[in-house]
């Protein structure tokens, strides 16, 4: 599928992100001030929480600031808490943080509150056999490439989706393996910074296959995975359910946990491990540990024995061969059903938001 084509997955992605588009949510000066120095991913996500607040209260960002000046700070915090009660715990946390951040950047201070997200369950990482079984169940090369790159590099999903041919061109064209992932400086800042990491033999093999089949262009700006994150995540979820994997494993973040666990198994020096994973909080790791790719390459090469995945054949975990045909049929039907359900859910959410927005517009016109 060409990069500029719009398939079902791409339309779904657009529907989910439309609330963050500047044409849909016009940003007044107070919002621009808030987002000015935020990370790119944060600039996309934070306006969605402000939109949720606006839909539930009828207050535009500027009206919210004006109202805050007429009441006590505790009343503002109460309103934020009340409007978040219907959300899941993770969304509640992000919602409250975002609204407090917006007010803080516009000169309004709220009382201290215990903002701490407590996970509802402990989520373990994938095991090697589970990842190999997933690879055996995935049909699309793009989906397999995402899984292998995630497991071999430890990069978070949002970074993987932004990887371009230019990030690996130097080593790939020189025939050097493992291939260094040379990202722009913006990727190495913030709490969720990318690590100084590499791609191993499995990733290189799939990338070359994509290049030979012209699924990836040999241009610096060509994305290594031009599909949408939502489509990839759905495919992996489907494979997990068919294989009967532990539902508590995080669909995509579980690959990063596998990567970190294998570095532990390989007894990698702690400071080097932190650099490769992107944990720069320690003073020594941030300022003194050598970040040269050539030195880290040797560290990664020694650890790759523990990271290496075997794939190329279908490897179900525990499926009787007598039921292979039946399993393939059920897999196809489940894939179609889940795609339809996902599209329906997104459309229902969008319709509900539009109805609420229309009601607010009618109220504002009547004032």
Given a cut of 50, whether residue 205 has pLDDT beyond it is yes
Given a cut of 50, whether residue 12 has pLDDT beyond it is no
- Say what the pLDDT of residue 113 is: 78
pLDDT tens per residue, range 85-131: 888 887 888 899 999 999 999 999 888 877 665 555 567 899 999 99
Rounded Cα distance, 137 and 242, in Å: 9
Rounded Cα distance, 137 and 266, in Å: 28
Confidence of residue 6 (pLDDT cuts 50, 70, 90): very low
Those residues with Cβ within 8 angstroms of residue 335's Cβ, 6 or more apart along the chain or in another chain: 238
Rounded Cα distance, 241 and 130, in Å: 12
- Say what the pLDDT of residue 351 is: 81
pTM as predicted = 0.64
- Max intra-chain CA distance, the chain: 72
| Least confident residue range of 46-50, 195-199, 312-316, 318-322 | 318-322
Neighbours of 95 (CB within 10 A): 20
Rounded Cα distance, 320 and 359, in Å: 55
Beta bridge partners of 180: 198
CB 253 within 8 A of CB 192: no
Given a cut of 70, whether residue 253 has pLDDT beyond it is yes
pLDDT tens per residue, range 137-167: 998 999 999 999 999 999 999 899 999 999 9
> How far, rounded to the nearest angstrom, does the alpha carbon of residue 185 sit from its chain's CA centroid?
19
- Say what the pLDDT of residue 320 is: 45
CB 165 within 8 A of CB 222: yes
CB 252 within 8 A of CB 150: yes
Given a cut of 50, whether residue 22 has pLDDT beyond it is no
Rounded Cα distance, 29 and 171, in Å: 44
3-state DSSP of the chain: CCCCCCCHHHHHHHHHHHHHCCCCCCCCHHHHHHHCCCCHHHHHHHHHHHHHHHHHHCCCHHHHHHHHCCCCHHHHHHHHHHHCCCCCHHHHHHHHHHHHHHHHHCCCCCCCCCCCCCCCCCCCCCCHHHHHHHHHHCCCHHHHHHHHHHHHHCCCHHHHCCCEHHHHHHHHHHCCCCEECCCCHHHHCCCCCCCCCEECHHHHHHHHHHHHCCCCCCCCCCECCCCCHHHHHHHHHHHHHHHCCCCCCCCCHHHHHHHHHHHHHCCCCHHHHHHHHCCCCCHHHHHCCCCCHHHHHHHHHHHHHHHCCCCCCCCCCCCCHHHHHHHHHHHHHHHHHHHHHHHHHHHHHHHHHHHHHHHHHHHHHHC
- Say what the pLDDT of residue 263 is: 92
| Least confident residue range of 6-10, 265-269, 338-342 | 6-10
- Say what the pLDDT of residue 345 is: 76
Give residue 173's region: left, alpha or beta (phi > 0; psi -120 to 50).
Answer: alpha
pLDDT tens per residue, range 260-271: 999 999 998 888
pLDDT tens per residue, range 159-199: 999 999 999 999 999 999 999 999 988 888 877 888 899 99
Across 294-309, average pLDDT: 89
Query: 224: closest CA among 199, 195, 253?
Result: 199
- Say what the pLDDT of residue 354 is: 82
The percentage of the chain sitting over the pLDDT mark of 70, rounded to a whole number, equals 80
């Amino acid at each position: 599928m060409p990069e500029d084509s719009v398939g079902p997955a791409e339309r779904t992605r657009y529907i989910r992100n439309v609330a963050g588009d500047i044409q849909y949510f016009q940003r007044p000066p107070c919002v621009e001030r808030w987002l000015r120095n935020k990370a790119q991913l944060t600039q996309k996500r934070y306006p969605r929480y402000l939109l949720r607040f606006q839909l539930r209260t009828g207050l535009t960002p500027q009206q919210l600031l004006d109202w805050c000046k007429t009441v006590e700070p505790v009343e503002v915090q109460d309103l934020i808490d009340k409007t978040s009660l219907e959300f899941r715990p993770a969304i509640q946390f992000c919602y409250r943080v975002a609204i407090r951040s917006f007010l803080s950047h516009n000169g309004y201070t709220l009382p201290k509150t215990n903002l701490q997200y407590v996970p509802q369950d402990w989520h373990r990482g994938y095991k090697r056999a589970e990842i190999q079984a997933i690879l055996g169940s995935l049909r699309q090369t793009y989906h397999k490439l995402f899984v292998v790159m995630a497991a071999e590099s430890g990069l978070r999903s949002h970074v993987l989706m932004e990887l371009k041919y230019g990030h690996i061109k130097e080593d790939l064209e020189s025939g050097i393996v493992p291939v260094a992932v040379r990202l722009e400086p913006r990727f190495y800042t913030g709490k969720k910074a990318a690590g100084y990491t590499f791609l191993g033999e499995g990733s290189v093999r799939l990338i070359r296959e994509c290049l030979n089949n012209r699924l990836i262009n040999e241009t610096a700006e060509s994305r290594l995975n031009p599909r949408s994150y939502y489509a990839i995540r759905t495919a992996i979820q489907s494979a997990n359910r068919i294989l009967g994997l532990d539902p508590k494993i995080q669909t995509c973040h579980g690959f990063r946990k596998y990567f970190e666990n294998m570095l532990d198994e390989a007894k990698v020096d702690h400071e080097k491990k932190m650099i490769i994973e992107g944990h720069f909080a320690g003073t020594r790791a941030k300022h003194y540990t050598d970040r040269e790719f050539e030195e880290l390459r040797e560290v990664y090469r020694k650890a790759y024995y523990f990271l290496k995945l075997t794939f190329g054949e279908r490897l179900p975990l525990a499926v009787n061969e007598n039921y292979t045909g039946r399993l393939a049929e059920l897999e196809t039907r489940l894939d179609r059903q889940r795609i339809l359900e996902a599209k329906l859910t997104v459309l229902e959410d969008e319709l509900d938001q539009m109805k609420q927005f229309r009601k607010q517009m009618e109220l504002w016109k009547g004032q």
